């Protein structure tokens, strides 16, 4: 008589399809959705570097509201710290970080962050307007008498200098002694010539043409400063104890309309001078 096969014997062939309603259930008999619902809000400990309360299953990262409010306060403080150059740029970064942290809800200082962004945006607009005004109109903060002589000094852009103006310019100290080029400032501090100063503006040369002429061509035109020197100082440059420094356009300033070479006279060591050198025969 043949033996009866045991009940738990698996027949050969592919495994049978699961019964309807059992798909997606783990071995414990719960569906994935049921397991997530039961464990929602528990600390996710699979990441050994996650701190309690930092990451939660099914939730976005949460930030400490008090730290965010401090960050928002710093953003607002830096936005109104007008005495610190470009502090508003840091304020923008902090404010954006606060707004990102505020997306999960809670009091993170969102109002202060928005205020910092508005103030910083206004400062950017004001800086752009200032640059445009300086580039196209120049500035002259000096006080002058009826004849144009400076009686109270101030900042003057190079394009607003007048013949006979005496001024200080920190970059003059960096001019190489071999006659090579150095970078000059876009503005200088003009003072009355009776006060100590580094340089005196005595002549200007207009350069024609639409295209930038190149450094060599500007140097050739700059030699005209030496001829104008004798008329202003009263002595030929070759026999003078003074030095001539001229400002010439750069490719960028040329595109912005700067086509003028400015001739100035200084001491050879760029030391201070008191009084004008006009007709001094030095």
CA 109/CA 68 separation, integer angstroms? 7
Inside any domain, residue 14: no
My answer on whether 172 and 250 are in the same domain is yes
My answer on whether 261 and 153 are in the same domain is yes
The pLDDT, as a whole number, for residue 235 is: 92
My answer on whether 160 and 108 are in the same domain is no
Q: Which conformational region is residue 245 in: left (phi greater than 0), alpha (psi within -120 to 50 degrees), or beta?
A: beta
The pLDDT, as a whole number, for residue 57 is: 46
Whether the CB-CB separation of 278 and 220 falls below 8 Å is answered with no
* Total structural domains within the chain: 3
What is the per-residue pLDDT across 80-111, written as a single tens digit (0 to 9) for each?
A: 887 777 788 888 888 888 888 877 666 778 88
Q: Which residues are CB-contacts of 159 (< 8 A; sequence separation ≥ 6)?
A: 138, 258, 260
Of 214, 122, 201, 128, the closest CA to residue 164 belongs to: 201
My answer on whether 246 and 218 are in the same domain is yes
* Residue finishing a domain among 105, 136, 167: 136
CA 162/CA 153 separation, integer angstroms? 13
The pLDDT, as a whole number, for residue 55 is: 46
Inside any domain, residue 86: yes
Q: Count CB-CB contacts under 10 A for residue 118.
A: 12
| Residue 198, domain extent | 144-266
* Residue finishing a domain among 31, 62, 93: 62
pTM for this prediction: 0.54
CA 50/CA 6 separation, integer angstroms? 51
The pLDDT, as a whole number, for residue 279 is: 92
Of 178, 175, 197, 190, the closest CA to residue 245 belongs to: 175
Inside any domain, residue 127: yes
The pLDDT, as a whole number, for residue 163 is: 92
CA 64/CA 102 separation, integer angstroms? 10
* Residues of the chain under the 70 pLDDT cut: 1-63, 104-106, 130-138, 173-184
My answer on whether 101 and 163 are in the same domain is no
Of 224, 200, 217, the closest CA to residue 279 belongs to: 200
Alpha-carbon distance values, 28 to 17, 22, 32, 36, 127 (Å): 19, 11, 11, 14, 67
The pLDDT, as a whole number, for residue 36 is: 65
The pLDDT, as a whole number, for residue 261 is: 93
My answer on whether 130 and 228 are in the same domain is no
């Amino acid at each position: 008589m043949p033996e009866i096969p045991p009940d738990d014997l698996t027949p050969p062939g592919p495994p049978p399809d699961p019964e309807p309603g059992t798909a997606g259930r783990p071995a414990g008999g719960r569906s994935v959705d049921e397991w997530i619902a039961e464990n929602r809000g528990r600390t996710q400990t699979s990441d050994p570097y996650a701190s309690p309360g930092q990451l939660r299953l099914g939730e976005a990262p949460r930030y400490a509201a008090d730290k965010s409010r401090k960050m928002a306060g710093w953003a607002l403080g830096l936005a109104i710290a007008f005495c610190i150059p470009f502090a508003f740029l840091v304020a923008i970064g902090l404010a954006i970080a606060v707004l990102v942290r505020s997306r999960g809800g809670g009091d993170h200082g969102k109002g202060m962050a928005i205020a910092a962004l508005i103030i910083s945006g206004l400062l950017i607009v004001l800086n752009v307007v200032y640059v445009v005004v300086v580039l196209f109109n120049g500035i002259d903060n000096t006080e002058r008498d009826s004849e144009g002589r400076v009686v109270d000094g101030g900042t003057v852009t190079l394009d607003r200098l007048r013949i006979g103006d005496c001024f200080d310019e920190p970059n003059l100290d960096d001019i190489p002694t071999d006659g090579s080029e150095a970078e000059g400032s876009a503005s200088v501090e003009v003072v009355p010539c009776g006060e100590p100063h580094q340089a005196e503006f005595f002549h200007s040369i207009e350069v024609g043409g639409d295209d930038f002429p190149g450094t060599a061509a500007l140097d050739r035109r700059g030699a005209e400063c030496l001829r104008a020197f004798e008329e202003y100082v009263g002595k030929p440059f070759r026999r003078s104890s003074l030095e001539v420094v001229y400002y010439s356009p750069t490719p960028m300033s040329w595109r912005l309309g700067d086509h003028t070479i400015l001739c100035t006279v200084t001491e050879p060591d760029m030391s201070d001078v008191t009084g004008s050198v006009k007709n001094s025969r030095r």
